[in-house]
A = this chain, B = another copy of it.
Amino acid sequence: MSIHRFAPRHFHATLGAHEPVMRIADGDTVITNTVDAHGYDHENIHRGGDTNPTTGPFFVEGAEPGDTLAVTIKRIRMNRRMGWTRQGLAWHVVDPARVRDMPAREKIFWQIEDNAKLVRLESPTAPLKSWTVPLKPMMGCFGVAPADGEFISTATSGHHGGNMDYNRFGEGVTAYFPVAVKGALFCLGDAHAAQGDGEIAGTGIETSAEVEFSVAVRKGVTAHWPRGEDAESIFTVGNARPLEQALQHATSEMLDWLAQDFGLDTVSASHLLGMHVRYDVANVFNPAFSVACRLDKQVLASFPRRG
């Protein structure tokens, strides 16, 4: 279980079967850097493309199609003081009659205060003069190479993960991805210093980061959509438009997970979900929307876990 350091020199605008930058073993840890959503690094030097350029891919030894790759995000350290968002909300999260009232989508800058664990607007409007946001770093875009030879833009998401922009993909989370190609080919990028549900401003606080993650191969465990787990809950993520379809995918995937790991048949799982499910609108901005179907671990405590 080695620890690797990797300094990326180029970045990818798609998730796909690119040439691996490094081969790592099941259980290994990697410390690397990601550039911001427009390709700027910790010194604000342009290093990649302009839509979520990703670092990687990392070839994970032993990962085969049909397996699941578990990636634990151990740490996301903000390595730049500057972050940015856009002014106003995305035009499709308000009523069409409101679009014309929205301000121009100018770039807005924030100061990331890593020690104080907060973020503040650089030029706040009057009501926001003393407003600060707790620092809560997350990965906007990460995942594996898709199936069927696709190379899918890092602007969007799918079965393979990608640009899900879900604020629970933060420090301490373990994300699970369906392996579609030998070695899984994991990539990551687009860190956010903080973000509400839905990424309704069209961005989180976009910045560069140093990221430490470890990988584990779960042989023969089949997933169809990304899954995740943190101290509080387990969740599945459906990526599609419209929201209803993303929700269908996430719910169906949760039924699979509850059967696989908790031995719950469809009727039992339906009763459980009917009373306890939580849905998060992870993002309602990207070409594919992301909806998470989530269960508190406390709810699951009485069901023995096999996985």
Contact = CB atoms under 8 A, between A and B. Distances in A.
Number of copies: 4
A251 B93 contact: yes
Nearest to A101: B266
A55 interface: no
Contacts of A14: 148-151
A46 interface: no
A92 B275 contact: no
Interface of A: 13-14, 16, 51, 85, 87-103, 108, 121, 125-128, 130-131, 133, 148-153, 155, 194-198, 200-201, 203, 205, 240-245, 247-249, 251-252, 255, 262-268, 270-281, 284, 291, 302-303
Nearest to A196: B277
Contacts of A273: 89, 196, 200-201
B153 A249 contact: no
A151 B16 contact: yes
B94 A128 contact: no
- Chain B CB count within 10 A is highest, among A243, A267, A270, for A270
A31 to B, nearest CB: 27
Contacts of A149: 13-14, 151, 153
A103 to B, nearest CB: 5
Given A13-B149, A100-B100, A200-B273, A284 B244 contact: yes
A280 B291 CA distance: 11
Nearest to A303: B127
A95 B249 contact: yes
19 contacts: A14-B148, A14-B150, A90-B96, A93-B248, A94-B248, A94-B252, A95-B252, A103-B266, A103-B267, A127-B268, A148-B155, A149-B153, A150-B150, A150-B152, A195-B274, A198-B247, A200-B277, A201-B271, A203-B274
